Amino acid sequence: TAQLVGRYRWVELQLFELLGEWARTGDEHPEAVAMCAAHSHHHAWHAELFAGRIAAIDGCDPTSSPAHDLAPLVEAARAAVGTHTRLTAVYDELLPALAAEY
């Protein structure tokens, strides 16, 4: 259970960082920048909630457990260029996969 929650936390942290970066560097569409900033903080909150639920298990470090099946989608979102491509990578691909994982 701790590893599973650690995986969820890892993805939420990735989304926090990714959307936060886009909010800082995006200037093409102010509405998208504002949305990314708000959603970045929302994902940080999710990560914080998951961190609070991780049980201590001997020999297990669930805080660094990447979600291997979602890692390619995270990397594809990181590599996306342009507002439309970025939003598609996160909102049409990564988040639905994460919702299915939950």
Report the alpha-carbon distance of residue 54 to residue 38 in Å, rounded.
25
Q: What is the mean pLDDT of residues 55-69?
A: 65
Return the pLDDT at 26.
Answer: 78
Task: Please say whether the beta carbons of 63 and 5 come within 8 A.
Answer: no
Supply the pTM of this predicted model. Answer: 0.88
Return the pLDDT at 68.
Answer: 79
Q: Show Cβ contacts of residue 80 under 8 Å, excluding neighbours closer than 6 positions.
A: 86, 88, 89
| Model confidence at 58: pLDDT above 60 | no
Return the pLDDT at 2.
Answer: 80
Where b means 16+ CB within 10 Å and e means fewer, 20-50 reads: bebbeebeeeeebbebbbebbeebbebbeeb
| Model confidence at 59: pLDDT above 90 | no
